[in-house]
Chains A and B, each alone.
Chain A
Amino acid sequence: MKEGKERELLNTWKTTMDLAKFVLGYEDLTSLDQWGGREAVREILPDEFRENFDMIQPDLMDTILQPKNRRVALAYSDSLSEYIEFVNRKLDERKKVAYYYFPMSTEIMLALDMLPICYELLGGISAAQYIHGCEDGIDRIQSEGYPDHLCASQKATSGYLLMGIVPKPDVLLKQAWGCDPSNRMYEWASVTFDAPLITFEMPYYYNERAFRFLVGTVKRMIEQLEKISGNSLDEEKLREWVKIGNQATEYLLKIQELRKEVPCPDPAWHRPIDTAYSLLIGRPEAASYFKAVYEDAKKRVEKGESIIPEGKKEIRCAWGWAWNAYSLPFFNWLEEEHGATYLECSLTYFPPFTGLVDTTSLDTMIEGLAWRWFCWPMNRQSMSFSDIWVNDFVRICKEFKADCLMLGGHMACKHFWALNKLLSDAVKEEVGIPTLRFEQDIYDRRFTPVSELKRIMNTFFAML
């Protein structure tokens, strides 16, 4: 592992992944208590892991050691390690660093031999793994005067950039939606770090003409990226990456179908990680991750195994906004405590017609990628007015046989809060299921602590 302050965050993650793999390597270990608890385990660990171990959320360790969660936990650790190694290699080779907004995939950047880093990924993984989450990044940018009511998914990384613990951007890529907070933050990053900002418009309407418009903007984006990278987009190279991206997408779509099974065979703790790897589609790590998730769930369906404890009635939940990144164990707790399974959410749901990218020619590939981004969760819902979001969820509740709608809205997401009542009304009318509405901050646990989340859930499930 190479040194350098800008690699600090990723290298910390790497140690965490090595530690996770080390612990997961003990196949009979199902909880830290088995070995005498956290303190005892700490003593047994090799020296280089101890400091890192202290930082990790204790209940996260116990969650990934559970037999039903192990397989995917290992896949996550392997994949993230590989991605970090890739980043370090490209930094060594001094490749251009392209920071991009999450609802897109990496094939074009990879074909241009750039280093793609998702702005929002950096805060998210830290929030998920560590006791202190990504709070230091958030606090840093806020102490510069950046408003606290804006989106933590950008706040954390902006703080990290100021702290110098992540690589600096050479270019920033942003879909210009109606999400002002994120648009402004990318502008800030562009000015502060003197990196060009390429915005490509997500059209307002959701139809053929709008899609053609998007394809046009993607082509203009490619032109600008070619100038910055100093490479031209080669058809063969792109094809290689698109094929890998197709693999990941194929598994992802198949997993979604499996979640329709009763009981749902896919554990909830890794949903935020699913989003993390979907934004890495194009990379082989994403393909291997989704393959593992799919095979894990498939096996469960074949064996008729359940992810909720014996004797509990399954309560199938559609998440109308989405997860939070700061407590993956909380989603596991929902299964264990309440038999509540997690179906789909607006950060994981790709409609079935997303399909795969046609690799015949450069044109079909660019169009295919644009189409996938057109269908991408969050991109999709940001377009048009509330009809897409509402219709998607009425459909999800019906097709996935949801028992209730969870609206854990991110406090910074103005779009969601504007339409949330339309959503719960539509679901009540057309599907007849109850809704729970509450606020959370997607990355910052201090806004709605886990104890509070549990209290909210307990009240709701007692009512059902």
Chain B
Amino acid sequence: MKMIGMGCDIGTSATKIVIMKDGTVAGYGVTLTKDKPDQAIEKFINKVLSNTGISLSDIKYCGSTGWGTKFLSLDHSEESLIKCLSKGAHWTVPTARTVIDAGGLSSTAISVNEKGKPMEYRLNDKCASGSGRFLEMVAEALELKIEEIGPLSLSAKERVHMTSQCAVFGESEVIAHVNAGREVADIVAGVTYSVGLGLSTLVKRLGVQRDCVMTGGVAKNVAVVKALEESIGVEVKITYFDSQIVGAIGAALCAQARLKV
């Protein structure tokens, strides 16, 4: 039976839509979450559907998660983000036992069992150190594109040592280093190292078990992933699908599970 469904993860920075068909990802899209999300989300959903060649009436189930779920006007079930990340990561990497989600504002480390069920988690939703937002602030200050930060960090000769954990003070520190004449590559290397270290503190408190999978937008930054790997001493796998859509995949899976009941 061709079960077609949708998963939505409406985060503070990005909105992710996934279309599932025959047990696989048929299509997906990632866009920035707008100021007035309701209409923008509907428009974006239509765009993703048209790219996939599926119509709205074909969608038999829809799960939604994330901060902006309340803005989704389509019929949907609300799913817990922790559950979605766990299920989604497990579906993409069945050997996953530790999931590290590094999103726009908050980061989460989740310990999952062999069935993809979340057993324990650690949230950091109080402090923006280690957040995608911090990287965005640095990119803006240095007039770089966010995608450039990772590769540029890897080319650094002498990584700058960041003294502040705080994203706000960190931004001032970056500007101070620029004025002191430090190389931009060295500066971003310091920043990505600091972000990686912040994430590793979070996951170490939880306890790392192989396999370790990283999701969210920040997982696309190779330098952060490398710093995290070095700090926890375990390989960090990135999902072969876009690391940002794992939550949305999980949302679709959760909604699908409800149908069977």
Contacts and interface: CB of A to CB of B under 8 A. Distances in A.
- The answer to whether any beta carbons of A and B sit under 8 Å apart in the complex is yes
Interface of A: 421, 424-425, 428, 432, 434-437, 459, 462-463
The 3 closest A-B pairs by CB, nearest first: A462-B80, A463-B82, A434-B119
Nearest to B108: A459
Contacts of B82: 459, 462-463
A459 B80 contact: yes
Contacts of B207: 421, 425
Nearest to A434: B119
A424 B123 CA distance: 16
B118 interface: yes
A435 B120 contact: yes
Interface of B: 79-80, 82-83, 111, 113, 117-123, 205, 207
B204 to A, nearest CB: 10
B80 A463 contact: yes
18 contacts: A421-B207, A424-B120, A428-B120, A434-B117, A434-B118, A434-B119, A434-B120, A435-B120, A437-B122, A459-B80, A462-B79, A462-B80, A462-B83, A463-B80, A463-B82, A463-B83, A463-B118, A463-B121
Contacts of B117: 434
A221 B140 CA distance: 68
Nearest to B111: A428
Nearest to A425: B207
A421 B83 CA distance: 21
B127 to A, nearest CB: 14
Nearest to B86: A463
A7 to B, nearest CB: 42
A52 B121 CA distance: 42
B70 to A, nearest CB: 14
Nearest to A405: B120
Q: Which of A424, A434, A463 has its CB near the most chain B CB atoms (within 10 A)?
A: A463
Contacts of B119: 428, 434-435
A317 to B, nearest CB: 14
Contacts of A428: 111, 119-120
A445 B205 CA distance: 25
A428 B112 CA distance: 11
Contacts of A437: 120, 122
Given A421-B205, A434-B119, 6 more contacts: A425-B207, A428-B111, A437-B120, A462-B80, A462-B82, A463-B121
A354 to B, nearest CB: 31
Nearest to B205: A421
Q: Output the residue of B83, B120, B205 with the most chain A CB within 10 A.
A: B120
Contacts of A436: 120
Nearest to B207: A421
Contacts of A421: 205, 207
Contacts of A462: 79-80, 82-83
Nearest to B82: A463
Contacts of A434: 117-120
A233 B118 CA distance: 57
A459 B125 CA distance: 12
A212 to B, nearest CB: 39
B9 to A, nearest CB: 15
A425 B80 CA distance: 23
A437 B205 CA distance: 11
Nearest to B121: A463
Contacts of B111: 428
B107 to A, nearest CB: 14
A463 B254 CA distance: 11
A437 B82 CA distance: 14
Contacts of B205: 421
A432 B120 CA distance: 11
Of A425, A434, A436, which is in contact with the most chain B CB atoms at under 10 Å from its CB? Answer: A434
Contacts of B122: 437
Contacts of B118: 434, 463
The residue in B83, B117, B118, B121 that gathers the most chain A C-beta atoms within 10 A of its C-beta is: B121
A437 B120 CA distance: 8
Nearest to A458: B80
A425 B83 CA distance: 20
